[in-house]
Structure 1
Amino acid sequence: MLDRWTTRWIRAPLTLLAHPLKNMGIRADQVTFIGFLIGLTALPLLAFEFYLSALTAILCNRLLDGLDGALARITHATDAGGYLDITLDFIFYSAIVLGFAFADPEKNALIASLLIFTFMGTGSSFLAYAIMAEKKGLSDPNFSHKSFYYLNGLAEGTETIAVFVLFCLFPDYFPILAAIFAVICILTTMTRVWGGYQTIKLADGVDTHSEKMPIAKKYP
């Protein structure tokens, strides 16, 4: 829900940071992979309840995740890079939740399982729509710089990272926070499935080869 605004705010500073990397010959895919490896260190840190250290790894991962996109835009953005970025992002998101399950299985495991289940809903509805949007030439002006076609929802990247920060700062409240976010993810999945279905259904009856049709907005 907040991504359309946060991406605009951080785009300029990330571009400034990306230029020195470009001058050093560093590629966007390298930044993506390094960020992913740093992010994965949060899993064992969470498992052993080093929450602030894990938070540092999470924030570094998110910084590099934004930086790889900025670097790609000033060098050469590729579909392969976009694929790598989104795939590793979803693995990272699930790893963070798994880390909390390991930290306290008795208290956290069940709700962590529910949250990962809801991540499957938000992720699959996002990616399935991206495939159909590409096929039918649909576009979203709010995310024209992205490698994938976005269908908006209540739970997007900004909200997910904000919740991860809360998890790390208040680990004792993980079950409550995770339950609340799971409900938000369920609502996001429902609106994405319905909105995506209606948009694609409408596009089925329109010739999108000659003119791109904007994504229908189905959200409050």
Structure 2
Amino acid sequence: MLDKWALKCLSKPSQWSARQLAKTPLSANQVTLFGFGCGLGAAILVAFNQYQGALALLLINRLCDGLDGALARVKGSTSAGAYLDICCDFIFYSAMVVGFAFSAPEQNALISCVLILSFMTTGSTFLAFAILAEKHQLTKLHYPNKGFYYLGGITEGTETIAFLVLCCLFPDAFYLLAAIFASLCFITGLIRLYSGYLTLKPLANIGD
């Protein structure tokens, strides 16, 4: 819901940073993988109740996630890079939830299962539509810098990061925060399922 606004606000700083990084030998994929490593480190720290360190690595992960795409647009974007980026993001999100489940299993394990199910709901409707939108050559109207057709919703990347930051700042409230966010994810999944179906329904089969 907030991704379009957040991307607009961060566009100029990320472009400037990408131009500076472009002067180095670093590739966009290397930035992606470094950020992914930081994200997994954040999940591990959460599991050991080291929330301040986890928050620091989480923010580095998100910084890298913003820079890798901008750097790719400077040096030349690839489908492989877009694929790597989205895979790392989805694994990172789920790893953070698993970290919270390990941090307090008696309190967090059950709601973590529900939360990951809600992530699967948003993720599957998101990616399935992206595949078919590419097949039918649908235009990326709202997110032109994305590597694929971006189907929005209530809980997008910006909201997910805000949720994870709040969980690191207030770990004792994880159950309540996760319950609220999972509910919003399920609503987002239903919205994407319905709107995606209506968008694709009138289109003729291509290549079937």
TM over 0.5: yes
Counterpart of 1:30, as a letter, is Q
Counterpart of 2:200, as a letter, is I
Q: Which residue does 1:158 correspond to in 2?
A: 158
Give the whole-Å Cα distance in 1 for the aligned partners of 2:92 and 2:147.
Answer: 18
Q: Which residue does 2:38 correspond to in 1?
A: 38
SS in 1 for 2:22: helix
Q: TM-score, normalising length from structure 1?
A: 0.92
Give the whole-Å Cα distance in 2 for the aligned partners of 1:46 and 1:158.
Answer: 20
Q: Which residue does 2:182 correspond to in 1?
A: 182
Give the whole-Å Cα distance in 1 for the aligned partners of 2:101 and 2:204.
Answer: 43
Give the whole-Å Cα distance in 1 for the aligned partners of 2:203 and 2:68.
Answer: 32
Give the whole-Å Cα distance in 2 for the aligned partners of 1:137 and 1:9.
Answer: 28
Give the whole-Å Cα distance in 2 for the aligned partners of 1:35 and 1:110.
Answer: 28
Deviation at 1:19, TM superposition (A): 1.4
Q: 1:73-112 CA distances to partner (integer Å, 9 max, x unpaired)?
A: 1110000000000001000000000000000000000001
On the 8 A contact 2:140/2:148 being kept in 1, the answer is: no
Deviation at 1:52, TM superposition (A): 1.1
Deviation at 1:44, TM superposition (A): 1.6
Q: Which residue does 1:173 correspond to in 2?
A: 173
Give the whole-Å Cα distance in 2 for the aligned partners of 1:111 and 1:196.
Answer: 28
Q: Which residue does 2:123 correspond to in 1?
A: 123
Counterpart of 1:138, as a letter, is L
Runs of 4+ in 1 over 4 A off after TM superposition: none
SS in 1 for 2:25: coil
Give the whole-Å Cα distance in 1 for the aligned partners of 2:148 and 2:100.
Answer: 29
**Cα-Cα RMSD:** 1.1
Count of matched residue pairs? 206
| Percent of pairs with identical residues | 53
Q: TM-score, normalising length from structure 2?
A: 0.97
